[in-house]
Chains A and B, each alone.
Chain A
Amino acid sequence: TGSVGTSVASAEQDELSQRLAKLRDQV
């Protein structure tokens, strides 16, 4: 379950990074 938790955390981190890039018109 540890690796599942880490994957979920990474996916959420990626989602935040994508939202940040969009906010800054970098996508």
Chain B
Amino acid sequence: MALPPQLKPIQHHLRTAQEHDKRDPVVAYYCRLHAMQTGMKLDGKTPECRKFLVKLMDQLEMMKKELSDNESISQEIVGNAHIENYALKVFLYADSEDRSGNFHKNLIKSFYTSSLLFDVLSVFGELSEENIQHRKYAKWKAAYIHNCLKNGETPQ
């Protein structure tokens, strides 16, 4: 289903969800939950957005039913730990590649994905200062390395 323009800010979280449907359904579920909450704040009133969000809610309810045996889904506190560990794992992979001077597209994507996953953590409450800093650094690094590679420069 096409994403209405008003909901464009959630497109990257939805894409991350899709990429994790098979790899890690818990990550996929919470990315969609974050997209749902943000989408409702952005525009839950116009017919095209409501239609999209109702479909997204259907999908979330179905996922929760299918994953009901998984404690990371049935208990949000466990889910919080799962998403935080995963976000840090992706961030640390990107950071280690960056520090080793291995600049490649997957490194940019890993930094960017980790920043999206730190966004997702906000469904569980306010982000810690450490996670806010990680998110800011990951977003900046992704943009910086992307620009360097685009301009044929070596990132510092």
Residues of A within 8 A of B (CB): 9-10, 12-13, 16-17, 19-20, 23-25
Q: What 3 A-B pairs come out closest when comparing CB atoms? A: A9-B45, A13-B44, A19-B57
Instruction: Please tell me the size bucket of the interface on B.
Output: 10 to 19
User: Whole-angstrom distance from the CB of B31 to the nearest CB of chain A?
Assistant: 14
Given contacts A9-B45, A23-B33, 19 further A-B contacts (CB under 8 A): A12-B50, A13-B40, A13-B44, A16-B40, A16-B44, A16-B50, A16-B53, A16-B54, A17-B40, A19-B57, A19-B61, A20-B36, A20-B37, A20-B40, A20-B57, A23-B57, A23-B60, A23-B64, A24-B33
User: Whole-angstrom distance from the CB of B100 to the nearest CB of chain A?
Assistant: 40
Name the B residues within 8 Å of A25 (CB-CB). Answer: 76
Q: Which residue of A lies closest to B61 (CB)?
A: A23
The B interface is mostly helix, strand or loop, or mixed, namely: helix
Residue interface bits B46-71, CB-to-A below 8 A is 1, else 0: 10001001100100110010000000
